[in-house]
Amino acid sequence: MGGIGQGERVGVYPGTFDPITRGHSDIIRRGAKLVDRLIIGVTTNPSKNPMFSPEERIAMVEREIASLRLANVTVTGFNALLMKFAERQGATVIVRGLRAVADFEYEYQMAGMNQQLNAGIETVFLMADVSLQPIASKLVKEIALFGGDISPFVSAPVRDEVIARVRKLGRLGDY
């Protein structure tokens, strides 16, 4: 994608991915087309009450990326300000997914703050596929905790990991 005299175009797609959903995978697949290299930054966010540890989420995302067969996508964890992480990765683009209008206000504010921190890194918004727009990791976990079927929202391996975790927590209804 980079032309003569241009460096590699690197993008970062940050998130907690707790768990990674079909919506995330859609944004990854499409975001990978926009850059030479896409780095999936799996971050810690204790306020989201994660079901999986950072290491478990990184492994989960790596497995999903492998199944997508995207050679230009890598996964790494981070626990820092997004713009500092992006700078360290040599990124010029932050990829963010939007599901609905409700996401836009928050993401717009974040993009503005990030631009103040580093105007050389652009934020690119990708709309989730219409069929995937309602999917949110928080809702996937809630459905699983109440024994609902999360198969439409996550891959089979992720579904199995979520179900196993919910059983371990002892909060699963009859599946």
Query: Is there a catalytic annotation at residue 155?
Result: no
29: in domain: yes
137 in catalytic set: yes
Amino acid 172: pLDDT: 56
Using CA atoms, how far residue 30 sits from 27, 35, 173, in Å, is 5, 10, 36
pLDDT of res. 175: 46
The answer to whether position 97 is within a domain reads: yes
Count up the domains in the chain and report the number: 1
Active-site entry in 22, 25, 137, 165: 137
pLDDT in the model for residue 4: 44
- Spatial distance between the Cα atoms of 111 and 113, rounded to a whole number of angstroms: 5
* Cα 77 to the center of its chain, rounded Å: 11
The confidence score (pLDDT) of residue 129 equals 84
| Residue 91: inside a domain | yes
What is the domain extent for residue 151? 10-168
pTM to 2 decimal places: 0.89
173: in domain: no
Q: Which two tokens stand for residue 47?
A: 């306020």
Instruction: Report the candidate in 44, 55, 106, 31 with the shortest Cα–Cα distance to residue 81.
Output: 44
Determine, yes or no, domain membership for 174: no
pLDDT in tens, the chain (175 residues): 444 446 899 999 999 999 999 999 999 999 999 999 999 999 987 677 899 999 999 999 999 999 999 999 999 999 999 999 999 999 999 999 988 767 788 888 888 888 988 999 999 999 888 788 788 899 999 999 988 999 999 999 999 999 999 988 876 555 4
Q: Is the previous residue joined to 134 through a cis bond, with omega within 30 degrees of 0?
A: no
Catalytic residue among 33, 48, 84, 138: 48
Is the previous residue joined to 46 through a cis bond, with omega within 30 degrees of 0?
no
CATH of the domain at 158: 3.40.50.620
Which one of 22, 24, 57, 159 is the catalytic residue? 24
Residue 3 inside a domain? The answer is: no
61 falls within a domain: yes
Q: How far is CA 119 from the centre of its chain?
A: 23
pLDDT for the residue numbered 173: 55
Query: Is 1 within a domain?
Result: no
**What is the tally of helices (H) and strands (E) in the chain?**
6, 5
Let me know if 48 is a catalytic residue: yes
Whether 171 is catalytic is no
